Amino acid sequence: MTNTLYDALIAPHADNEAVFLECDDSTRLTYARFVRRAAQLAHVLTEAGVSPGDRVLVQAPKLSDTIALYAATLQAGAVYLPLNTAYTQAELAYFVEDAAPTLVVCDAQEEDAIAEIAARVSAKVLTLAGDGGSLGRAADGQFETFETVARAPDDLAALLYTSGTTGRSKGAMLSHKNLLSNAEVLTELWQITARDRLIHALPIFHTHGLFVALNTAFLSGAEVRFMAGFNLDAIIDALPDATLMMGVPTFYTRLLDDLRFTRDLTRSMRLFISGSAPLLAETHQAFEARTGHRILERYGMTETNMITSNPYDGARVAGTVGYPLPGTELRITDPETGALLDKGEIGMIETRGDNVFQGYWNMPEKTAEELREDGFFLTGDLGIEAEDGRVSIVGRAKDLIISGGYNIYPKEIEDVLNDVDAVAESAVFGVPHKDFGESVIAAIVPMPGKTPDIEALKAAAQDALARFKHPRDYVVLDALPRNTMGKVQKNILRQTYGS
């Protein structure tokens, strides 16, 4: 029986007594112990009725058991569906109803509220918590081996939701091959080995913290300093013994703001990697001036895993995202006509390869819009390719705000605000923000003769949307700026309110 991802990432560690995770409380979990724990969890999954191909929806804290649940889901042949822990019940309800999971795993504290939502699709609910939760406790008494369920390279391994310009989140279907091929390429390119010690402060419900960071650790057998979240003091403490760090640009600007962050502190570091949002050239330069390290910037998407990377050996150029990864094709096309553009011309970044997903869950029309018949995926990012193939991202064709590495689609927020009393229409846009890169502002146009209640707008956002999506400011306008075609000119709003 073969199971593409499990056999490559997890199974080889069955007898590996090296440390996999060191947690905040200094507890250390070996790879071998981790493999046994995943097997115990896999038994609970099958007892809960999870069959091959079923979705296991997970909105759980960042614990070693949560990673073991990812491995267990793979071993049981099911599809791992992780969700941001900041999502509200309203957001969660959409994902549960859309994905129809067999099992929902949540934080023990959320169990009652989530049980009601899970019941709508007859899903079972189990919990994870620092003290085990019902899933952790059920796993404790299980056998420490589990007969791995066969899965082929094209079978689904994960379903990751990504918001869309239409306001409805889309489930990106990622196969075993999609995830494994990307992990193999990155491990080799970034020369990750069992001698590495990775600082892991990212969330584990997105591609960056889950696949880029952890799949490469599994492949290489690296040790992971596993932090519950971004904590400056913990990172400063961990740096002298670390070799590798992956983060969003906010991580690096926050480190630079701390005087304890010095060349000496980073002496044992081999590589700092940045992604998920643009790294300002000034951050890149300040980082090198302070530490002597040149941050390696790479570019990717949920649907495509990683697409490009600056080189490990060779010039890491600030403001560029490097070259297409081995096995990944990239081309730049005219966003209107789809025609291929020449090197040096700005256009839509398209990519094709084993990295590119299988389509959107239950959304064949959306899939057809974004995934061409020849296999190229339209990223919605605008880029330029230099003569030597080096790629720079210069903008976005999609209406998207990236705040602290989290994607925020204005349409989703506008839909919520437009439903509030006295609101005729709204436009949500991003403005530069020192810490998060961008932050969210809402322009509100009232109905004639009416005054919208800002508190009501905030309350609507509170009920419907995760906190990181909430507008940080509201401006009330008589009308939105529009071009002759009637399209709202968000660039004018950004310029006007950018400061």
Q: Does 146 sit near ligand AMP (CB under 6 A)?
A: no
The option from ligand AMP, ligand MCA, none interacting with 436 (CB < 5 to 8 A, set by class) reads ligand MCA
Residue found by looking up tokens 């010039």 in the block:
315
Site for ligand MCA in 210-239 (CB under 6 A): 229-230
Query: Tokens 């790879």 identify what position?
Result: 31
Among 46, 148, 302, 310, binds ligand MCA (CB under 6 A): 302
| Binding track, positions 175-214, relative to ligand MCA; x by CB under 6 A | ---------------------------xx--xxxx-----
The closest of 409, 423, 421, 416 to 460, measured between CA atoms, is 416
In 3D, which of 253, 188, 216, 292 has the Cα closest to residue 404?
253
* Residue 75: contacted member of ligand AMP, ligand MCA, none (CB under 5 to 8 Å, by partner type): none
Region 460-499 residues binding ligand MCA, contact defined as CB under 6 A: 467-468
Task: Check residue 393 for interaction with ligand AMP (CB under 6 A).
Answer: yes
Which is nearer to ligand AMP, 139 or 189 (by Cβ)? 189
The label of the residue with tokens 């296999």 reads 375
Selection from ligand MCA, ligand AMP, none that 417 binds (CB < 5 to 8 A by kind) is none
Contact at 8 Å (CB) between 443 and 426?
A: yes
Residues 357, 154: Cα–Cα separation, whole Å: 10
Per CB under 6 A, 300 contacts ligand MCA: yes
Report the residue closest to ligand AMP, judged by CB: 302
Q: Tell which residue, 293, 235, 284, has the closest CA to residue 263.
A: 293
What dihedral angle (degrees, nearest 10) is formed by the CA atoms of 396, 402, 408, 411? -30
Which residues, numbered 294-313, are part of the site for ligand AMP (CB under 6 A)?
297, 299-302
Q: How far apart are CA 214 and CA 217, in angstroms?
A: 5
Position 442 contacts ligand MCA (CB under 6 A): no
Q: Which residues, 6 or more positions from 394, have their beta carbon under 8 angstroms from its beta carbon?
A: 346, 382, 383, 384
Question: Under the criterion CB under 6 A, does residue 164 sit at the interface with ligand MCA?
Answer: no
Instruction: Give me the least distance between CB of 279 and ligand MCA, in Å please.
Output: 11
Nearer to ligand MCA, 6 or 406 (CB): 406
CA distances from 316 to 16, 274, 289 (A): 34, 12, 14
Residue 80 or 146 with smaller CB distance to ligand MCA: 80
> According to the binding rule CB under 6 A, does residue 406 interact with ligand MCA?
yes
Check residue 301 for interaction with ligand MCA (CB under 6 A): yes
User: Given the complex with ligand AMP, which of 3 and 351 has the nearer CB atom?
Assistant: 351
Residue 490 CB: number of other CB atoms within 10 A? Answer: 18
Can you tell me which of 404, 410, 452, 471 binds ligand MCA, judged by CB under 6 A? 404
With 0-12 CB in 10 A as exposed, 13-18 as middle and 19+ as buried, what is 22?
buried
| Residues between 250 and 279 with contacts to ligand AMP, criterion CB under 6 A | 275-278
Alpha carbons 182 and 27: distance in angstroms, whole number: 30
Residue 424: C-alpha distances to residues 414, 450, 478, 479, 487 (Å): 11, 9, 10, 10, 16
Which does residue 429 bind out of ligand MCA, ligand AMP, none, counting CB within 5 to 8 angstroms by kind? none
- The residue among 57 and 279 lying less far from ligand AMP, judged by its C-beta, is 279
Instruction: Based on the shown chain and the rule CB under 6 A, indicate whether residue 381 belongs to the binding site for ligand AMP.
Output: yes
Contact positions vs ligand MCA (CB under 6 A) = 202-203, 206-209, 229-230, 248, 250, 275-276, 300-302, 403-406, 436, 467-468
Contact positions vs ligand AMP (CB under 6 A) = 162, 207, 275-278, 297, 299-302, 321, 379-381, 393, 396, 402, 407
